[in-house]
Amino acid sequence: MDKHIAPVELAKAYRLLNHGPTVLVSARHAGVDDVMAAAWACALDFSPPKLTVVLDKIAATRTLVENSGQFVIQVPTAAQLHLTHKVGSESLAEVPDKLARAGVELFQAEGFDLPLVTGCSAWLACRLLPEPHNQQTYDLFIGEVIGAWADSRVFRDGHWLFEQADPALRSLHYVAGGHFYAIGEALDVGGGE
């Protein structure tokens, strides 16, 4: 694992998603890895930390999630703009070498048989909490976060450091049609910790 990657305590894992970044969803089953982009991922609870993510029925990653019962939500960076758009535009079902074409490299965290995408700023390993009605009716999946890590150059001691870090590490916030925003300026009301 890259020397900048450090574990995040689970009680603060929600902060990795709280500001609403577009994420990459990855999963592994029976020797197959896939990665997709998702703008519709959201924190759901603090402790134990949970999150929601919307996975369309045509997404190959969804099948891997359903079959393995686990997945990773990770926060891509401005440097991964094209990678993010590419894995969000092609399906493994149609493009078997999708990951290589998008420049995706994977690594593992010790103790987790899950594919993590190299170069992201944060990773949340999740156990699927099966909710068949939500999955079928709304394509809505709920995960419990069982492991979290971040790049300590941009998230440290429970805080994002976008205002100090390399701008290439900023999170991406997708709108539509290939149009993203990077996260911007810090605004503080004070009184925090």
From candidates 19, 100, 113, 130, binder to its own copies by CB under 8 A: 19
Please state, in angstroms and rounded to a whole number, the distance separating the CA atoms of residues 169 and 154: 7
Strand pairing category for 49-54 and 70-75: unpaired
From candidates 29, 40, 127, 168, binder to its own copies by CB under 8 A: 40
> CA distances (Å), 190 to each of 18, 46, 89, 134, 163, in order?
18, 22, 40, 38, 16
Instruction: Please identify, using beta-carbon distances, which residue of 28 and 50 lies nearer to its own copies.
Output: 50
Q: Give the chain's length.
A: 193
Instruction: Please identify, using beta-carbon distances, which residue of 3 and 133 lies nearer to its own copies.
Output: 133
Q: Does 133 bind its own copies (CB under 8 A)?
A: yes
Q: H or E element: which one contains 77?
A: none
Q: How far is the CB of 30 from its own copies (least distance, A)?
A: 30
Q: Count residues binding its own copies (CB under 8 A).
A: 54
Q: How far is the CB of 32 from its own copies (least distance, A)?
A: 26
Please state, in angstroms and rounded to a whole number, the distance separating the CA atoms of residues 148 and 126: 9
Q: How far is the CB of 112 from its own copies (least distance, A)?
A: 24
Cβ atoms of 127 and 144 within 8 Å: the answer is: yes
- Of the candidate spans 1-9, 66-74, 103-111, 184-192, the one that interacts with its own copies by CB under 8 A turns out to be 184-192
**Contacts of 84 by beta carbon, 8 Å cutoff, 6+ apart:** 22, 24, 37, 76, 172, 174, 180
From candidates 5, 8, 13, 15, binder to its own copies by CB under 8 A: 15
Q: Does 62 bind its own copies (CB under 8 A)?
A: no
Q: H or E element: which one contains 146?
A: strand 140-151
Q: Does 142 bind its own copies (CB under 8 A)?
A: yes
* 79 CB-contact burial (10 Å; exposed 0-12 / middle 13-18 / buried 19+): middle
Per-residue binding string, its own copies, 75-114, x by CB under 8 A, is ---x--xx--x-----------------------------
Return residues touching its own copies (CB under 8 A).
12, 15, 18-22, 39-45, 50, 52, 54, 78, 81-82, 85, 133-134, 138-140, 142, 158-160, 162, 170, 172-193
